[in-house]
Amino acid sequence: MKPRFISDLHLSEKHPELTQAFFKFLDESKEACTHLFILGDLFETWIGDDDDTPIYQEIKNALLSFTTGGPKTFFMHGNRDFLVGESFATETGITILPDPYTLEINDQKVVLSHGDFLCTDDKDYINFRNQVREKDWQTNFLNKTLDERKKIAANLRTDSKEATSKKADSITDVNEQSVLNFINEHQPDLFIHGHTHRPNTHDAGSSKRIVLGDWGDYGWVLNINDQDFELEKFSIS
């Protein structure tokens, strides 16, 4: 198994260069990996699988081309695209994973997550996360018209950016005790997550915690080959 891991691309109409970088990444990954794991926030926002924005259709087509006869591709919900559903999965050939998800890679126990549930110091965010992950909330939201959902999503993004700008960096990062509790519970060799936009590798007892990076001026990918791993940074331009 030769997997690659990415997260936090935040693809949208506003940043076509990121979408083009993703297409290039998919082309390169056809030969570079056997499995691709997208650990949340592939999109800046996702308001339902019926969103007919042209750039989203292009991304769906690119993913379907990639998965057809190519690497097995898995997707985990992030805090921006938790409404990606089974219609999207069918259209693209991906498999949606629960969060967290445990698997074995080259004789190592690996646990995957988007990672946002570990930001327990950010009480307002955790409350919001719990609300929007409820089935009733999601059903009510998806029953609204596409235009209504777009307006709500735009307002939520504005509110989120304003709230985040007022928070200390430590609040928007993972809580160390929550991380240790999670690792003690699951006992992984590797724990891989995104969300915080703080790419790094951390020792956590006998485990290693690998934080994926967000895409902007640079992109990030984690490559695993045999027992070795590399958190790689590359230019988007």
* 187, 207 contact by CB (below 8 A): yes
Name the residue type at position 236.
I
pLDDT of residue 121: 96
Instruction: Give the mean pLDDT of 20-32.
Output: 97
* 223, 7 contact by CB (below 8 A): no
pLDDT of residue 194: 98
Q: Given pLDDT bands bounded at 50, 70 and 90, which one contains residue 37?
A: very high
User: What confidence tens digit (pLDDT) does each residue in 142-175 have?
Assistant: 999 999 999 999 998 888 878 777 778 878 899 9
b/e for 44-58, b at 16 or more Cβ within 10 A?
Answer: bbbbbbebeeebbee
Structural domain harbouring 165: 3-235
Residue 99: CATH number of its domain? 3.60.21.10
Three-state SS for 14?
coil
How many Å apart are CA 143 and CA 97, to the nearest integer? Answer: 24
Instruction: Give the mean pLDDT of 98-107.
Output: 96
pLDDT surpassing 90 at residue 227: no
Other beta carbons less than 10 A from residue 184's beta carbon:
11
**CA-based nearest residue to 77, from 53, 35, 113, 110:** 113
pLDDT of residue 92: 98
Where does residue 193 rank: exposed (0-12), middle (13-18), buried (19+ CB within 10 A)? buried
pLDDT surpassing 80 at residue 71: yes
Number of domains within the chain: 1
How many Å apart are CA 52 and CA 191, to the nearest integer? Answer: 35
Model pTM score: 0.95
Instruction: Give the mean pLDDT of 167-186.
Output: 91
pLDDT surpassing 80 at residue 43: yes
Q: Which residues contact 197 (CB under 8 A, 6 or more apart)?
A: 8, 213, 214
pLDDT surpassing 80 at residue 89: yes
Instruction: Give the mean pLDDT of 116-124.
Output: 95
pLDDT of residue 206: 85
Q: What is the mean pLDDT of the chain?
A: 95
Q: Which residues contact 21 (CB under 8 A, 6 or more apart)?
A: 215, 219, 236
